[in-house]
Structure 1
Amino acid sequence: MSEERKAAERLLLRLLGIAAAFAVVRWVLPEIWDKLSPFIIAVPVAAALQPVIRFLQKRIRLKRSPASLIPVLLLLFLFLGLIIWLLIFVIEQTPKLVAHSGDMITESINMIRQAFNNLLTRIGEATDPGVENWIRSVVTSGLETVSKWGSGVAEYVGGFALSLAAATPYSIIYISFLTIGLYFISKNYDEIRSYLPGGKRRRQDSRTTQLTNSTLKSLFGYLRVQGTFGLIVWIVSWIYLTIFGFPYAGITALFCGVMELVPMIGSGVPYIIMSIIQFLLGNAAAGVQLLFLTLGLQLLRRVLEPKLMSDSIGITPLQSLIGMFVGMRFGGILGLIGGPVLMSVLVGAFKGELFVPTARDFHLISVWFKNRLK
């Protein structure tokens, strides 16, 4: 059998493998996650608890079982405390959001409209009145669309809160299975770890193992960094906006904390827009306060980011930007957030030379076609 035919067969097998992988991701993995998610979540959590378990075994002289049980219970109490606090926050804020959603949206729209009117008045002094009227009509139409969208979002949030409350019994059962599974996985982690990528029962020199390790490192590093900054922005913003008496401080802080999860956009964009609106309305003090908040959050990120990020993601800002845009085109907002993660996987594949055999086979076949056409 010629080398060209072998290369063609290898390429065909790789294409079939890609199709099978797509089918697994599209249909099989969602079912696995639905049926086994508590135990899947427990594996990385158990890995994170191993230093604490080893400390209790070596320094406190505890056996493996109690050394595994203690951090699991502490983590459970911490998690339940956080959930209770979050539920109290939701219970307090959701009725206000539902009851005052119309007023909140109307106030926001009126504020934006007044800011644009002030801006258009200044523009009208320097341009033709027809231009001012055209801009005014476009802005009015846009604000009406935003108003309808805001009402829909408020209704969705209210419905989501009710669904969350209705799911509480299932959540308790889910957490129970997660806790018990976490204990057993933590107790037998060394044995389980040996079968995972990088474990002693896996080939350490294979490209697949190296790619998996790089991908997992990038994925968890990215999620950890983005989640940390989102939480920081939420808490700091909530405290800051409350101190200076901004209306709807909790909801605004939560929205900007979520926006911080979106790479290259973050909380700076909404805060700068809010600041500009305040300046156009003549509220210079509020505008300056929002600018100081934005500046403080950005400085905090610039100070902490190198330490937290380190080499956890392993992609350049340009690669992250490309991943964001491609992800947005395919998956909207979720794609915008997940695009850099997929880009880190792709970069890891290139660094692990996963595509080198495929490229070699393509080159071999292209040379064969070129020689045939001579």
Structure 2
Amino acid sequence: MSEERKAAERMLLRLLGVAAAFAVIRWVLPEVWDKMSPFIIAVPIAAALQPVIRFLQKRIKLKRSPASLIPVLLLLALFLGLIIWLLIFAIGHVPGIVSQSGDLMTESISTMRLAMSNLLTKIGESTDPGVADWIRNALTTLLERLSIWGTSIAQTVGTFVVNLATAMPYSIIYISFLTIGLYFIAKEYEEIRSYLPGGKRRKQDSRTTQLTNSTVKSLFGYLRVQGTFALIVGIVSWIYLTCFGFSYAGITALFCGVMELVPMIGSGVPYIIMSVIQFLLGNTAAGFQILFLTLGLQLLRRVLEPKLMSDSIGITPLESLIGMFVGMRFGGIIGLIGGPVLMSVLVGAFKGGLFASTARDFHLISVWMKNRLK
């Protein structure tokens, strides 16, 4: 068999492998996650508990079973304590926050109406009345849609609370299975680890190991970077808005911090809208204050993001930008978030030489086809 035919067969097998991998990701993995998620979640947690277990075994001289049980129970107690604290906090503060949010929504809509009225007055003084009427109708329609959107959000939140309460029995069962599974996996972790990528009982190619490590590093690194910026935006905004005496500084800072997690939108869009509204209302000082806050946050992100991204997911800002755009085109918001992670995996695969043999086969086939066509 000629080398060209062997290369063509290898290429065909790789294409079949890609199709099989797509089918697994599309149909098999969701089913596996739905049926096995407690035990999948337990594996990385058990790995994180291993230093504590080894410490209890060596220093306290405990056997493997109690040394595994103690950190699992402590982790469960910490989790339940956090849940109870959040419930107590929610019962004590959520009604006030909801009431304040309602006042904020009402005040925001009133402020927007006043700003639009001022804008229409200025437009009407310099343009045809028909143009002013058209703009007035368009803005009225926009406000109506915003009101509908706000009502939809309230209904969604209410439905979420009802579903959460309905899911409590299942959540208790889920946590029970997760806790018991975590104990057994932590206890037998060394044995289980030998079957995982890079384990002693599994032959693992160094390039595949590099790709696996790159994937995990990229995912957690990207989430860490986005969470860091969201936290920075929330804290800086709350301090800044409080110092300048803005109403609802806490809710505004929280909202913009959450918006910072949304790619391509961030905190800049809501702050720019707030600044424009303040200018239209004649509050020039407040408009410039919000504008300076926006510029400061964007400058801070532009200075820190390249360094944090390169350290966390191992790709350049340009590669990250390409990954975001391509991901957005394929998967919308989810693709926008996952694009840089996949780009990092591809870069790691190329650096690790994972596609070197494919490139050689493709070159061999190209040369053979070129010679055949002469």
TM-score bin, normalised by smaller chain:
0.7 to 0.9
TM-superposed CA distance for 1:11, in Å, is: 1.0
Q: 1:313 & 1:368 partners in 2: Cα distance?
A: 39
Task: Structure 1: state its 5+ residue gaps.
Answer: none
Do 1:8 and 1:361's aligned partners in 2 also have CA atoms closer than 8 Å? Answer: yes
| SS class of match (1:201) | coil
Q: 2:200 & 2:41 partners in 1: Cα distance?
A: 22
Q: 2:303 & 2:83 partners in 1: Cα distance?
A: 29
Q: 2:340 & 2:89 partners in 1: Cα distance?
A: 31
TM-superposed CA distance for 1:111, in Å, is: 2.4
The 3 A distance-change label for structure 1 pair 259 and 309 is same
- The residue number in structure 1 matching 2:356 is 356
Do 2:104 and 2:248's aligned partners in 1 also have CA atoms closer than 8 Å? Answer: no
The 3 A distance-change label for structure 1 pair 124 and 339 is farther
Q: 2:95 & 2:336 partners in 1: Cα distance?
A: 31
Do 2:306 and 2:317's aligned partners in 1 also have CA atoms closer than 8 Å? Answer: no
Task: Structure 2: state its 5+ residue gaps.
Answer: none
- The residue number in structure 2 matching 1:31 is 31
1:157-199 per-residue CA deviation (whole Å, 9 max, x = no partner) reads 2212211111111111111111221222222222222222232
- The residue number in structure 2 matching 1:72 is 72
Do 1:7 and 1:361's aligned partners in 2 also have CA atoms closer than 8 Å? Answer: yes
Q: 1:344 & 1:4 partners in 2: Cα distance?
A: 32
- The residue number in structure 1 matching 2:346 is 346
Q: 1:111 & 1:72 partners in 2: Cα distance?
A: 52
Count the aligned residue pairs.
373
Greater mean alpha carbon deviation, residues 310-319 or residues 275-284: 275-284
Do 1:105 and 1:151's aligned partners in 2 also have CA atoms closer than 8 Å? Answer: no
Q: How does 1:202-221 map to 2 (within 5 A)?
A: 202-221=202-221
1:306-346 per-residue CA deviation (whole Å, 9 max, x = no partner) reads 89766331122222222222222222222222222222222
Q: How does 1:1-374 map to 2 (within 5 A)?
A: 1-87=1-87, 105=105, 107-119=107-119, 121-122=121-122, 135-230=135-230, 233=233, 246-247=247-248, 249-250=250-251, 252-263=252-263, 265-283=265-283, 287=287, 290=290, 311-374=311-374
Q: 2:125 & 2:54 partners in 1: Cα distance?
A: 73
Do 1:262 and 1:336's aligned partners in 2 also have CA atoms closer than 8 Å? Answer: no
Percent identity between matched residues is 81
> What is the identity, as a one-letter code, of the residue corresponding to 1:194?
S
Q: 2:237 & 2:337 partners in 1: Cα distance?
A: 21
Q: 1:63 & 1:287 partners in 2: Cα distance?
A: 65
Q: 2:241 & 2:88 partners in 1: Cα distance?
A: 19
TM-superposed CA distance for 1:24, in Å, is: 0.5
| SS class of match (1:312) | helix
Q: 1:326 & 1:181 partners in 2: Cα distance?
A: 39
Greater mean alpha carbon deviation, residues 153-162 or residues 271-280: 271-280
TM-superposed CA distance for 1:114, in Å, is: 2.8
Q: 1:237 & 1:74 partners in 2: Cα distance?
A: 36
> What is the identity, as a one-letter code, of the residue corresponding to 1:20?
A
Do 1:198 and 1:213's aligned partners in 2 also have CA atoms closer than 8 Å? Answer: no
TM-score, normalization by structure 1:
0.82
